[in-house]
Chains A and B, each alone.
Chain A
Amino acid sequence: MLIRSMLKQNRSWILGYSVGTSVYLFFLAAIFPSIQETGLIEAKLESLPKELLDVFQIDASMAMDNVLNLLSSNYYGLIFYVLAVLFALTFASRLLAKPVDSGEIMLYMAAPISRVTYVIASFVVLLVAVGLFVGLNGLSLMAADLLFDLQIDYAVLWMLQLNGALMLLVLGVAAYVIASLFDDSSKSYMVTGGIFTFFLMVNIIQGVSEQFDWMSNFSFFSLFDASAIMREEYWGIHFIWLLGLLTIFSALSFFRFTRKDLTI
């Protein structure tokens, strides 16, 4: 009942992210054949400086080969990172920071529910939200493939979705840990946003020059490299890292929230 109630209260933003991104992907995939035919974008991409293309993780020679190559540069790069940050912030804010700040959490805390149960319920909501997000993204591309014969490699497509799901889960749980440190929702929003923006900047700077490659070790976002998945490189180690981080952040969430003083 707790999970059902939490899902009901959060369904609007969960559906917003899932349906919004899926519609975007479907239309991008739908117009791919005509983009490919004209060759205009390919020529434009080739004329851009290599550093700029690296920042957005675009391989100009491959971008128009198939729809997943186009999406790996057009969606599963900076756009996905920004969406993932917003998604994680929304999750932590709606499920913990705001309810604690406003006192709404008392509706659940007055019931015979332990704090461990509340954290588990929050993570189930996150799991459902992430599942819908990447699931609908994948299904919308499969639908586009069926309708427009895009010859999408489904194994690669679902590997991208799985990597994206793990990234969303890690960022969501990390944002939840940070939210549990504060009673003030705007402060937790600012700190989480600041940390994630720092990681984004690190990722962008790392793409500018090979000299800054070492910086990739300091950003979560390096663990979701769509181009590497397309080339079938690194994904195993990235998955292990993401699962490790997910375990650590989940443990921290339980540890922190079950000991937190709630001044509601």
Chain B
Amino acid sequence: MIRIQRLTKRFDETHGIFDVSLHVTPGTIFGFIGPNGAGKSTTIRHLMGLLKPSEGKATINGFDCWQETEQVKRSVGYLPGEINYPQNMTGEEIIRLTRHLHETNPDRERHLRERFSFDEATKVRKMSKGMKQKLAIITCFMKDVPVYILDEPTSGLDPLMQERLIDWLIEEKQLGKAILMSSHHFPEMERTCDRAALIKDGRIIIEEDMEQLRQHSVKRYRVEFSTEAEAVRFAADSGERDGRHVEVTISTPTELNHLIRTLADFQIQSLASGTDELEHLFMQYYGEAT
């Protein structure tokens, strides 16, 4: 469905994207993760025919994203990262215009309006970020197409709406849609994505199935001991101590079993898992993990 092969765009020697390849198949959600300025949006712009590749190629449904952009856009729903609709138009006018510019499905439109309801009579300039995001979600998914490209789809949404969007994405995936989604929101990536790639400085540094990523990720546990002496005794062999607390890092099930056996000899007050697993893995790659 979506295929990017050795895509390179050089803005200068160090800026751009270099040798990016990925493949999104029907019925899957592909997570595209990376810090700001890593090249996520540049890659997505190539898919939407906004940028001409310096090398390599991007295709959707077999159509070249630069040379056959009209055919590509006919089968793609796009949710941009920055929502910039004309300021003097109302939500209703934007939806009406979308209906005329794209081939949309009235049933989906009604359904989306119910799920992501907002005041359609409000002009764009008076809308909050969340309202604009809901409007963009409606206009993106009004099209019943096989491919969706979503740039930070939950940005600006309240937790309830985030939950509704995640449910919607899972339903779309089950209907066989191919979805490419860039996000910084790790819990939503964990719940929705089947495969993910991390891009940093314009290069993909890891691309794997979510299941494999979870297996590779280190897990952190924070153990609270009943006395400081106990904590000192435990920390002598493993972990970093902070008063009565010790933080332990585990990377394999064997290590986890060993930890449980060891802890049986101590008086434990509480045991909590640390940072979200996947988030921690990606933070390590970001180079910002503490």
Contact = CB atoms under 8 A, between A and B. Distances in A.
A113 B101 CA distance: 8
Interface stretch (A42-50, A76-84, A101-109, A225-233): A101-109
Contacts of B86: 9, 104, 107
Interface stretch (B67-75, B153-161, B231-239, B280-288): B67-75
A264 B48 CA distance: 11
A112 B70 contact: yes
A204 B74 CA distance: 52
B84 interface: yes
B52 A103 contact: no
A262 B74 contact: no
A1 interface: yes
B82 interface: yes
B218 interface: no
A211 interface: no
Contacts of B45: 262-264
A112 B69 CA distance: 7
Interface in A96-146: 102-104, 106-115
Interface in A249-264: 259, 261-264
Interface string A1-17: 11001000100000000
Contacts of A104: 84-86
Nearest to B42: A263
A262 B66 CA distance: 12
A1 B101 contact: yes
Given A112-B102, A261-B50, A262-B51, A107 B74 contact: no
B35 interface: no
B97 A5 contact: yes
Given A107-B94, A261-B50, A263-B50, A112 B74 contact: yes
A187 B260 CA distance: 65
A114 to B, nearest CB: 5
Contacts of B97: 1, 5, 107
A179 B71 CA distance: 27
B80 interface: yes
B269 interface: no
A108 B70 contact: no
B15 to A, nearest CB: 12
Given A103-B80, A104-B84, A114-B69, A109 B101 contact: no
Nearest to A110: B78
B85 A107 contact: yes
A104 B86 CA distance: 6
Given A5-B97, A264-B84, 8 more contacts: A9-B86, A106-B80, A109-B49, A111-B102, A113-B70, A113-B101, A261-B50, A262-B51
In the A-B complex, the 7 residue pairs with the smallest Cβ-Cβ separation, listed nearest first, are A103-B84, A111-B101, A1-B100, A262-B50, A112-B74, A112-B73, A110-B78
24 contacts: A1-B100, A5-B101, A9-B88, A102-B84, A103-B80, A104-B85, A106-B84, A107-B85, A107-B94, A108-B101, A109-B48, A109-B50, A110-B73, A111-B73, A111-B102, A112-B101, A112-B102, A113-B73, A113-B101, A114-B70, A261-B52, A262-B50, A263-B51, A264-B80
